[in-house]
Amino acid sequence: MGQLEAQEGQLSITVQEDNEANIQPDVLNQPARRRGMDWWLRMSMYTFFVLAGQAIATLLGRQYFDKGGKSNWLATLVQICGFPILLPYYCIPAWNKKPPATNSTIEPKPPSLIALASVYGSLGSLIAADYYLYSIGINYLPVSTFSLISASQLAFNAVFSYFLNKQKFTILIVNCLVILTISSGLLVLQGDNGDASTISKSKYIIGFICTVAASAGYALTLSLTQLAFAKVIKKETSRAIMDMTVYQSVVATTIILVGLFASGDWKGIPHEMKVYKLGKVSYIMNVTWTAINWQLFQVGVVGLIFEASSLFSNSIGAVGLPIVPILAVIFFHEKMNGIKACSLILAIWGFFSYVYQHYLDDRKSKSEKKGASDQVCKDVPLENIRS
């Protein structure tokens, strides 16, 4: 008897939904189309932030050291301290509205302050360490070499995503891992050749190790960010993206400022301005625009993690890595030797291996959803619904 009542209840809900769909098809379908367009616009915006921010900021960071900058702590600070440009966002009411509630929406329990503080604190600390290692790498390596080694973070991200985000390994993803590992390994062979002739072998090795370590650490940060969105924050709003970006930036900036003052590097900043080859104004503009572009990059990365996944976000960042060596040849007159060219080709090959896998996964997901929908229609015959 209880099963019969449950079936009747499910049948009445199905009939009600069917009637609503027949009466107001345009009203029900139009919001879905709007959401789809909004999603693509957001993805396009975040992708632009990642590609443009990464390329411009990396070149400006290399210029800082080339023209007389010497502080690794300051180079680290400008990678994360640009978050104040995001604060006006909180003053715009239209961007802070909660999504309209529906009957099927179950509001998740908000996380505790301790949980949020733990998330922002741990991620901010990891970012501070990663960016310091990155600043050493870009100081000791040619910008093209630095960028190509950074492509290894996609391989690290795939490994962390497997354990933390249940990312499945396929032949194409394994191919991506192997190729990107070889791509980065080839750069060890060039040593102090070409445009690295002014860098000692010891500094080159230190720069290589620091960049690889930073790539692994940053990949871990991306996977943990995705895990935090899924397990702790549980909010599908742009406010959640902005909170993640701003609060972890505050933590990282605080840690880096402590390092800057504890190391005494801050004392040399006025002298750096005076001896900077392009002048004091150019020094200030370099530091300012580096901070702004890295912050836009950070917003794009977090946004892509929120909208898709950490691996997808990292793959978009990998698209921009081959752009940097090309720009370095144009603006810094770096040499594109044979080893570096092979590494570049392998990096692009590895990236497209993952992108194609993402395309196959997307097609499979759509096919499974369509199959499930067709199965539901078969399970509930039309004559039973109308009766």
End-to-end Cα, the chain, rounded Å: 20
Domain contains 206: yes
CA distance linking residue 24 with residue 309, whole number of Å = 35
Q: Residue 237: CB partners within 8 Å, gap ≥ 6?
A: 98, 99
| Each residue's pLDDT tens digit, 316-341 | 777 666 677 777 777 777 777 777 77
pLDDT in the model for residue 34: 39
Domain contains 39: yes
Domain contains 2: no
**Model confidence band, residue 100 (pLDDT cutoffs 50, 70, 90):** low
User: Can you tell me the mean pLDDT for 164-171?
Assistant: 79
How many structural domains is the chain composed of?
1
**Burial readout 311-350 (b: 16 or more C-beta within 10 A, e: otherwise):** bbbbbbbbbbbbbbbebbbeeeebeeeebbeebbebbbeb
Q: What is the DSSP letter of 79?
A: T
Domain contains 7: no
| Each residue's pLDDT tens digit, 35-80 | 457 877 888 899 899 989 988 998 898 899 989 998 999 999 999 9
What burial class does residue 359 get, using C-beta atoms within 10 Å of its C-beta: 0-12 exposed, 13-18 middle, 19+ buried?
A: exposed
Q: What is the DSSP string of 195-219?
A: GGTTS-HHHHHHHHHHHHHHHHHHH
Domain contains 100: no
User: Can you tell me the mean pLDDT for 353-366?
Assistant: 73
CA distance linking residue 380 with residue 242, whole number of Å = 44
Domain contains 310: yes
Domain contains 9: no
The domain in which residue 179 lies consists of 15-95+109-386
User: Can you tell me the mean pLDDT for 155-173?
Assistant: 81
Domain contains 1: no
